[in-house]
């Protein structure tokens, strides 16, 4: 086979791989981890001349890196949790979402395992109900005391003095500490700030967006409005809204660093200035 034919095959493989990469990244445009790691696997495929085994090995190495980061988040984040704390969490950032240890749930599970008496209020997280379905299940498996609440109940419970801390994850963190996370996070942050309740976001370094200079540089995903109008029941989807009404379904929102007490990372619990310094080192 001549060099022209070889180059044609290589370029064809590369184009097909780029097409698959675009499809994967388009499934979750707001979350930067998927973009970062899928691109690294894509690079590994190019560098190994499209070897499946070597690319898979590179993907496993990346997975192990995330695993170790989540272990450290679990280990270092436990320091902010005191015996007797009641913690509010939102959406799901547990072992199922972020490999074995979890991010936001990691320190909570660790505190429980250390014998600390903790209770967790689990925001249901409308409209997909990740909190009610997944976080609730994970806490049950760990034997951790918890109650699922409607999203709109969080501020009331704060006003009653029944929440000591908020710990949740992030889908993206900008270089100034601004986070984008599941819709409803911003509302929780505002309420926590008003009631002077510490608000923490836990995430691995792959969640840092090193490219975007501001919130205008990335896309907040809007999803199918039927997620708002319907819920899944045992016999299919059940309409829970007026059939003739339109709906709007932003999947994520944005929380500025002024509302964030600290960032739980593999390098410790950092304030905004410390986070920025660590990002600049990288």
Distance of alpha carbon 173 from the chain centroid: 10
Q: Which of 33, 85, 171, 253 is catalytic?
A: 171
Catalytic annotation present for 224 = no
Given this model, what pLDDT does residue 5 score?
43
Q: Consecutive sets of 10 residues in the chain, 282 residues long: mean pLDDT of each? A: 47 80 89 90 90 91 93 97 98 91 97 98 97 98 98 98 98 96 98 98 95 87 96 88 97 97 98 96 80
Given this model, what pLDDT does residue 12 score?
65
Give the CA distances from residue 82 to residues 62, 78, 184, in Å, rounded to whole numbers and listed in that order.
33, 8, 26
Q: What pTM was estimated for this model as a whole?
A: 0.92
The ranges assigned to domains in the chain are 71-222+249-281
pLDDT tens digit sequence for 168-183: 999 999 999 999 999 9
CATH fold label, 71-222+249-281: Rossmann fold (3.40.50)
Given this model, what pLDDT does residue 11 score?
58
pLDDT tens digit sequence for 247-275: 999 999 999 999 999 999 999 999 999 99
Given this model, what pLDDT does residue 233 score?
80
Question: ω into residue 65 within 30 of 0, thus cis?
Answer: no
């Amino acid at each position: 086979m001549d060099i022209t034919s070889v180059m044609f095959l290589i370029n064809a493989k590369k184009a097909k791989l780029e097409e698959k990469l675009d499809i994967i990244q388009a499934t979750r445009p707001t979350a930067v981890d998927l973009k970062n790691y899928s691109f690294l696997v894509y690079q590994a495929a190019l560098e190994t001349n499209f070897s499946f085994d070597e690319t898979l090995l590179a993907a496993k190495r990346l997975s192990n890196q995330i695993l170790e980061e989540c272990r450290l988040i679990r280990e270092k984040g436990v320091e902010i949790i005191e015996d007797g704390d009641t913690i509010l969490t939102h959406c799901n950032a547990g072992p199922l979402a972020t490999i074995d240890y979890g991010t936001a749930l990691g320190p909570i599970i660790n505190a429980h395992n250390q014998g600390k008496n903790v209770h967790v209020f689990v925001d249901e997280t409308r409209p997909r109900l990740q909190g009610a379905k997944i976080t609730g299940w994970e806490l049950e498996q760990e034997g951790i005391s918890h109650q699922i609440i409607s999203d709109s109940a969080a501020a009331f419970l704060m006003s009653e003095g029944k929440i000591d801390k908020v710990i949740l994850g992030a889908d993206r963190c900008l270089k100034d500490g601004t986070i984008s996370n599941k819709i409803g996070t911003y509302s929780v942050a505002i309420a926590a700030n008003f009631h002077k309740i510490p608000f923490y976001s836990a995430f691995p370094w792959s969640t840092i967006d090193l490219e975007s200079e501001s919130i205008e540089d990335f896309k907040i995903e809007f999803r199918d409005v039927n997620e708002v109008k319907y819920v899944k029941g045992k016999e299919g989807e059940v309409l829970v809204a007026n059939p003739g009404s339109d709906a709007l379904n932003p999947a994520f929102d944005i929380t500025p660093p002024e509302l964030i007490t600290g960032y739980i990372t593999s390098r410790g619990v950092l304030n905004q200035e410390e986070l920025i310094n660590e990002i600049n080192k990288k």
